[in-house]
Amino acid sequence: MNTRIRELRLEKNLTQKALGEHLGATQSMLSKIECGFSVPDAILLLNLSQFFNVSTDYILCLTKTRINADSLLAENIHNFKKYQRLISLYQKMNIRQQQDCFTFICSMLGISEDI
């Protein structure tokens, strides 16, 4: 199993021992993971993700995109504010306008109006 742990560790100029001390893991465990002889358990994977501020998918080489938690949070906040605004506008509509809006959205998406 390929991981990016070694690459991330070297970017921070850390030894396996120093990284292990930060994460509560042994140097031996990290060495086996970096060499592909072992895989990180879920808790270690989450700790690595948080420590390096990248997604678990990035660590496991499931994506080439280096998404960090801050960018995900910023995107979610932006979307949340956008949805709040849409809901606010929808609530200002009368019943007929809401029905027309719902019908329009369903037709745009090609989905049934049945909920």
**Is a pLDDT exceeding 90 seen at residue 82?**
no
**Is a pLDDT exceeding 90 seen at residue 73?**
no
Tell me the domain boundaries of the chain.
Answer: 5-59, 69-109
**Whole-prediction pTM value?**
0.58
Q: Centre a 10 Å sphere on the Cβ of residue 5 and count the other Cβ atoms it contains.
A: 20
- Given this structure, which CATH class describes domain 5-59? mainly alpha
Q: Cα 51–53–58 angle (5° rounding)?
A: 110
Q: Would you state the torsion angle of the CA atoms of residues 48, 54, 60, 64, taken in this order, to the nearest 10 degrees?
A: -160
Per-residue confidence (pLDDT) for residue 34, from 0 to 100: 92
Q: Centre a 10 Å sphere on the Cβ of residue 59 and count the other Cβ atoms it contains.
A: 22
Per-residue confidence (pLDDT) for residue 94, from 0 to 100: 96
Q: Which of the given ranges, 9-18, 56-65, 66-75, has the highest pLDDT on average?
A: 9-18
> Do residues 30 and 5 lie in contact, with contact meaning Cβ atoms separated by under 8 Å?
yes
